[in-house]
Amino acid sequence: MNVAMNPAPAAARRSPIHDALEARGAEWRDVNGTTFAVRLRDEPAGDDIPAAALCDLSGLNQLGVKGPDAANWLSTAGVDVPADLYESRPLPSGGRVVRFGAHEFFLEDGIAGSKASELSEQLGFGAEQVYRVEHQDATFLLTGPRSLDVMAQTCGIDFREANGGRAIFTRVAGVSCALLPETIADQQAFRLWLDPSYAPYLWEELVVIVESLGGHVVGAGRLFPDLPA
């Protein structure tokens, strides 16, 4: 018996907290093969960053590489390779690369860049002495004047003295995270990478704390007005 089948839809990454954002009336936009919540129903009007802003960026493309020739392979591909453990450097078209070990690197595209996804296609199943490390991490971005207070309530590290641009492996509300302090629109910001299976729990916890401090959950469009249409 012949059964007519429709072709499967193109694979698209979906945030592990997609449903939580959907419940907040997310306005979705497809960017680089994934969907971002660009605006939420209850966001305050205007473009200002609230006291604390929590944003889901789990749609960003990621790539992990390791192996004795990984640094050389990245360098040949035009990536500014971080020299020290946990150091991060910007990728050519936006995004960042972080050194996770002596021979291990993690790359994540920026909101508009595609270097990590290009390198992922180029690497395929791996090259000689360069091996793929699968990453499907959730990415949360916390920013705003009171973001430090959120971290003080959830983490044992004193981030007032944290060195921007260096990744920190720690626990946030009991969840193991890689955390990158950075600056967005002149505001202190923290990028959190974590196992997606813990993402709904951590998101829920952070939302409660952010909102108790007068902050809001925001869409990516508020923090990144240049989000591609």
Partner 1 sequence: MKILNCPINGPRPLQEFHFGGELRPNPLDRKDGADADWADYVFNRDGEPGVKREWWYHIPSGTWFIAERDNVTDQFQRTYLYGAEQTDG
| Sites of contact with partner 1 (CB under 8 A) | 85, 156-157, 168-171, 174, 176-178
Least separation in angstroms between residue 195's CB and partner 1 is 11
User: What is the H or E stretch that residue 179 is in?
Assistant: strand 175-184
Residue 203 CA to residue 201 CA, distance in Å, equals 5
The DSSP code for 196 is G
Least separation in angstroms between residue 158's CB and partner 1 is 11
Tell me whether residue 127 or residue 157 sits nearer to partner 1 (CB atom): 157
Pair 64, 70: CB distance under 8 Å? no
Tell me whether residue 41 or residue 169 sits nearer to partner 1 (CB atom): 169
How many other CB atoms sit within 10 Å of the CB of residue 115?
24
Tell me whether residue 111 or residue 206 sits nearer to partner 1 (CB atom): 206
Least separation in angstroms between residue 173's CB and partner 1 is 11
Tell me whether residue 76 or residue 136 sits nearer to partner 1 (CB atom): 136
User: What is the H or E stretch that residue 189 is in?
Assistant: strand 187-194
What tokens appear for 177 in the block?
A: 């995270």
Least separation in angstroms between residue 175's CB and partner 1 is 9
